[in-house]
Amino acid sequence: MTVTGRAEFEENGCLVVRGLFSPAEIEELCDRFTALREGGPIPGHFQPRRPAADGPADPLDTHPRVMHPHRIDDLSLRVLLDTRLREILEGLLGEEVLAAQSMFYFKPPGARGQALHQDNFYLRVEPGTCVAAWIACDVIDRDNGGLEVVPGTHRMDLFCPEVADSEVSFAREYVAPPPGLTPVPVDMAPGDVLFFNGSLVHGSQPNRTTDRFRRSFIGHYVGRSAERIGRYYETLTMSGAPVALAESEGAGPCGTEFEAMGAH
């Protein structure tokens, strides 16, 4: 981690590191999740839904995100605890880091995005915040629903979300950009990693392509000085040893789905 990289992270709340993972590593990761999906539901981690009898088909019924795959898959655990991620994260935070969560998004053609939000609204890390390492597994751009970030919001408190538009977002929560600030798209190539502050407002638009997935593997991390986190998350050292933190209130899965609330 260079002084320039850390300065960019502190100024904007995010930093892209290009080509951190090799094409072979990304291919192996995608193959693993293709096999996991073909293996069927895994309660608590991967739970596809039966398509509704009426109404338009939802691609996320058959390709929902995978939650905490590191708890059930050795490759996911290795990626979450990867030395390259640890070195950059510790350079950004200036302290030892703990791993708290992993996720994998398939985001197939036609899938909705996730409205602008802040990750620490869900993790509730105290004191401080979480940091995400968002690994691109496809060419990611505006057409297939790449991430958008709102630089500067990482210096602000958590916002009280509004209700998102269920036509374009699978998650209920929406944080409007503060006056004078606008979302900035982040185009990425396979193997690129976007690191961002847990208070940074970010999200994605729908995948408007007909033939391109927008797959990504995400890890969430906290500094060793963190004292509390939501009970949904179980922190590990970057060598894999469990670390118990006190429970904070108001936490939940990273993004509350409309379907889970019976509102879709």
Q: Where are the domains of the chain?
A: 3-42+98-261
CATH of 3-42+98-261, one of 3.40.605.10, 2.60.40.10, 1.10.3260.10, 2.60.120.620: 2.60.120.620
- For residue 190, whether the previous peptide bond is cis, meaning omega lies within 30 degrees of 0, is no
Query: Token digits for 110?
Result: 């036609």
C-alpha separations of 160 from 121, 163, 200 in Å: 9, 10, 14
pLDDT by residue for the chain (264 residues), tens digit each?
A: 788 899 999 999 999 999 999 999 999 999 999 999 999 999 999 999 887 776 678 999 999 999 999 999 999 999 999 999 999 999 999 999 999 999 999 999 999 999 999 999 999 999 999 999 999 999 999 999 999 999 999 999 999 999 999 999 999 999 999 999 999 999 999 999 999 999 999 999 999 999 999 999 999 999 999 999 999 999 999 999 999 999 998 877 777 887 643 333
Distance CA 125, CA 250 (A): 10
Distance CA 102, CA 69 (A): 6
C-alpha separations of 1 from 5, 17, 92, 94 in Å: 6, 10, 7, 11
Give me the pLDDT at residue 262, please. Answer: 38
Give me the pLDDT at residue 254, please. Answer: 76
Give me the pLDDT at residue 263, please. Answer: 36
Distance CA 198, CA 211 (A): 31
Give me the pLDDT at residue 261, please. Answer: 39
Give me the pLDDT at residue 57, please. Answer: 84
Give me the pLDDT at residue 55, please. Answer: 66
Question: Which tens digits make up the pLDDT trace of 131-161?
Answer: 999 999 999 999 999 999 999 999 999 999 9
Give me the pLDDT at residue 162, please. Answer: 96
Give me the pLDDT at residue 257, please. Answer: 81
Report which residue type is found at 134.
W
Give me the pLDDT at residue 259, please. Answer: 64
